Structure 1
């Protein structure tokens, strides 16, 4: 999992020395390869400018201020990060946390990556490392207050499942660094230690994320919407151990991809948020794990 560790600092030094991103040792047979037609009259897709505005830095991870399509300016804002980034430590496998008091602070970044404010949580609205790896903090500030005070709007959660081949950016508020790659595919199950996550996003090798990037929003280059939250990667080629997740397919076949990194989809959050930005796990269509 991508919390800031000594290895992350070493990785930064190596990157500064010109080290190349780690390459995958195997890929799904169906992974698409880019082809360029000889002639095309279709216009190129619009690429939205993506920067640090709306991202946050935690004490140990990255995150972002997010909204659903139905969130209102007067609603208390939400911060999205990983379940394993909680200030109280990793939730156990099977554990779901709802409405736990918290006063955690988050450094809000502007487009240039400069901290402009400290936002404060009122509670952990939802967190788990079961089936997914997410945390949602409710803030003491509303979206309108953040917008009026700092000119920063929340990032919107996409309500649809992401698509293989989509160009994405992983934006780390902790490191103030942006990674660019594509969605290589999906892991039916991703297992790391005692935790198992479902339908995880697998990046192409260009997104060589490091410790501290945990909780970073994964943004669709075209829409600028959040499609996933960055959470882990196989660091040493280990098999299903801490910091060395493995993929398990429907038949139980295990695949290890050294150097490849992963994220957890976020579209499922949208169906679980009701009026006032409250998390309601009983809503129709809400499939997030329940306590």
Structure 2
């Protein structure tokens, strides 16, 4: 994960037809899936990321960019380290919906939050608002889901760095995911088709049905190693270790989304905010 810095539209399904003794009727079609493209996707110098907002964010709020903790420009936070409200001038390339072109450059003012403890996230506050980005680039932000994701979800992992999209299902959850010195809680496990590579770190993991961000992509077991760098392992409640070679993982984002207050600030006292901070080390 850190070495390579995992850092170098579906149509509606038609229901089946059921024959009865008197008539033949077809099931109602399922609702169409959200169109998942590169809208709201950004590229970093070493990772991927996304322009995000909470459901109740105001258009006048400073916009936010989400990526991984291990993509933080100051270096990977150590286990137990939490960074908040640190000045930043990092830039992000905003992609067009096709992913083939760039709409412009966005710039941060602040690292609102960054950690690799319990989760693997960095959240940047930009020097512009959601309304200004919409006006200048005709681009909305992706919405952060505030609900725990569910097994079986149809997922899209959208990489701005590689301009590539992976499709898979949510296979399940790792009670603890351990990699080198870091341990992450309740991690999303992909099915094998999301065989993410270096540079996809920080990609939003999007529920293809709702179009909402449910997690942030962060690692894959590269070579079957056991709990080592680039080879995460799963640890259950009893301490039993399972290694799943070539299986990728992501960190849920609803626990961070709950911390974002009006004005694009972090409030650790908000209901549902469970990310670690200084008082919880």
Q: TM-score, normalised by structure 1?
A: 0.87
Match of 1:52 in 2: 38
Q: Is the 8 A contact 2:66 2:123 kept in 1?
A: yes
Match of 1:43 in 2: 29
CA distance in 2, matches of 1:118, 1:56: 9
Q: Secondary structure at the match of 1:103?
A: coil
Match of 2:210 in 1: 223
Give the counterpart of 2:166 among 160, 166, 179.
179
Match of 1:16 in 2: none
Give the drift of 1:115.
1.1
Give the drift of 1:285.
2.6
Check 1:244–1:38 CA distance in 2 against 1; reply closer, same or farther (3 A cut).
farther
Q: Is the 8 A contact 2:177 2:185 kept in 1?
A: yes
Q: Which piece of structure 1 moves more, 155-164 or 279-288?
A: 279-288
Match of 2:11 in 1: none
Asked if 1:96 is matched to 2:70, the reply is no
CA distance in 2, matches of 1:45, 1:261: 29
Check 1:164–1:37 CA distance in 2 against 1; reply closer, same or farther (3 A cut).
farther
CA distance in 2, matches of 1:38, 1:246: 44
Match of 1:15 in 2: none
Give the drift of 1:101.
0.5
Q: Is the 8 A contact 1:3 1:61 kept in 2?
A: no
Q: How does 1:1-291 map to 2 (within 5 A)?
A: 1=1, 4=4, 39=18, 41-113=27-99, 114-291=101-278
Q: TM-score, normalised by structure 2?
A: 0.90
CA RMSD of aligned residues (A): 1.7
Stretches of structure 2 lacking an aligned partner (at least 5 in a row): 9-14, 19-25
Check 1:191–1:75 CA distance in 2 against 1; reply closer, same or farther (3 A cut).
same
Q: Secondary structure at the match of 2:174?
A: strand
Q: Which piece of structure 1 moves more, 273-282 or 124-133?
A: 273-282
Give the drift of 1:37.
7.6
CA distance in 1, matches of 2:79, 2:17: 51
CA distance in 2, matches of 1:4, 1:195: 16
Q: Secondary structure at the match of 1:240?
A: coil
Q: What is the aligned residue count?
A: 264
Give the drift of 1:225.
0.3
Give the drift of 1:275.
1.4
Check 1:3–1:178 CA distance in 2 against 1; reply closer, same or farther (3 A cut).
farther
Stretches of structure 1 lacking an aligned partner (at least 5 in a row): 10-35
